[in-house]
Structure 1
């Protein structure tokens, strides 16, 4: 007599695994799916946890989906948050938070930038004032020269005919008065 053993496996409902489907897939399994026999997360883990069961956080220096990313080189001790990748402690000297990828400006550089802006502002203001003064002088000179040229080229009687009438009247009067 030959005795044969058969292993009978039931198909578990979504999110369940194990004998009689009595275990739930870990909540950190992507899409809450896992192997119905072993409980391993067959689609990977949510950010910050490592396969196969997604119960352990990424090891030191790694982060993100399935722990595939490395922490920035400029995080103190190479340590970053297992989900976000932001440096846990701080950035190395010379780099600024939150992800330590930007070079921190020194106080000297900030002051230099500020003084450059002030210098440019003063220069532009000076140029504007100089242009206004030059324009005012040019207008003044133009008007003065125009008055002078009108005075030398034109007699008063040409500009004001009334003056001519007065001169003629004065001449007539003097003729009348003379003996």
Structure 2
């Protein structure tokens, strides 16, 4: 840039700064402050609550509500505990154990070139191997497994820990 270009640029900066400064000094400061300092009254709060189908209660009323809710929960727990166990209860428990054994889900995950760890974890979540793909992806990254994932097809099972899954796909 030439010498006259710099002078023109500087003159423009001085002119624009002068205009902005004059506007600031000559503006009505009281009007701007009045817009910011609006107080919220109790009537405003009540209007807001009624318009949005909400209700305000005292802290004491809230504490009483929580205490009654906890008491009701405890009564329900004691009723369940007091129920006598029948001879069918062990049979039902055995069925539940068998169902859990049958729920063993295995899946062959295929890791291809260009796949990210989030795509792998999403596939595992979709097939019921893990609960949360985000948590598994965080685990892989925080333990530096994300750089060691291998290409290929790996068999994984539901119930494996994140560490076990990571060991399988990084072999």
TM-score, length basis structure 1: 0.27
If asked which structure has higher relative contact order (CA below 8 Å, sep 6+), I would say: 2
TM-score (norm 2): 0.28
Which structure has the larger Rg?
1
Which one has the bigger helix percentage?
2
